[in-house]
Amino acid sequence: MTDAQENLPALPEVRIGDTDREIAARQLRIAMDEGQLDLMELDKRLASVYAAQTSTELVAVTADLPVAAAAREPIELRTGSGSRDKSGHWIVPPELTAECSSGTITIDFTQALCTHREVVVHAAVRSGAIRLLVPHGWRVDLDRVRTGSGAVQNKVTEPPLPGSTLIRVDGEIGSGVIVAGYPRPPRRSFLAWILRRPRPAA
């Protein structure tokens, strides 16, 4: 390190918001549900989470938890002519790889735990399809996807919420398709249909 580098001022700490604190609190509650923390330790750490002002302070509260380690491990989804689904309650890493030939891969983020402001999806599609389902308020960027005779469809058009996650997709499509959108609203029950009640909110 040169003298000039040593004399550079330290970068300021990155300040966090309520969304970051709620994500960390959710990690702690998952750890308690899995027996990794007791109630007393949970209360102590939650107090630290809600008192945290910077990302460094927040990371220190959850760094030793398995759920935090899982959030750093990349996920790879590959299929030939079959189908692969990643859905339900799962932990989103900062990077995912999705590759399909003539099959279909669906990545559903709507019930997932995501601690990252940006998630990168490396996509490779021949004649198949990749579907990305995100919660309302998230953003999806498909501008870095190269296409042959295939198609890219971004149906995520609502204004993003403050502090929401950005899904950034790169890669290449042959004659297939990549579609990003929101989950379909739940179906009405038969009784609700008879009574002409509106569909429940997604």
Does the pTM exceed 0.85? Answer: no
* Average pLDDT value for residue range 6-25: 74
CB distance 49 to 11 below 8 Å: no
Which pLDDT does position 191 carry in this prediction?
60
pLDDT digits 0-9 by tens, 155-167: 999 999 888 899 9
Instruction: Please give the pLDDT value at position 49.
Output: 93
Q: Which DSSP state fits 99?
A: E
pLDDT tens-digit profile of 173-200? Answer: 999 999 999 998 766 555 655 666 666 5
Q: How far apart are CA 137 and CA 77, in angstroms?
A: 25
Please give the torsion angle defined by the CA atoms of residues 172, 174, 175 and 178, in that order, rounded to the nearest 10 degrees: -20
CA distance 112 to 52: 24
Contact 91, 62 (CB under 8 A): no
* Contact of 133 with 183, CB cutoff 8 Å: yes
Pairing label, strands 113-114, 129-133: unpaired
pLDDT score for 9: 56
Q: What is the mean pLDDT of the chain?
A: 87
